[in-house]
Structure 1
């Protein structure tokens, strides 16, 4: 789960993507999963 903070919650429904930092734990987990394939 990614926590998102915004001042305009109505705009989140139109979001096309979410960017996360390369050093975020989720990025590291995804990289490990992809590496194992």
Structure 2
């Protein structure tokens, strides 16, 4: 494995994790908002 492959794999993993976290936190915020409302 060269450096570019490692960098791409790390970047894609971080991007995927952050995307899932954003979607999960957004759904949680919406659920809490509707519960409060």
User: Which TM-score band (shorter chain)?
Assistant: 0.3 to 0.5
**TM-score, normalisation: structure 1:** 0.37
Higher helix share: 2
The structure with more radius of gyration: 2
Query: What is the TM-score with the length of structure 2 in the denominator?
Result: 0.37
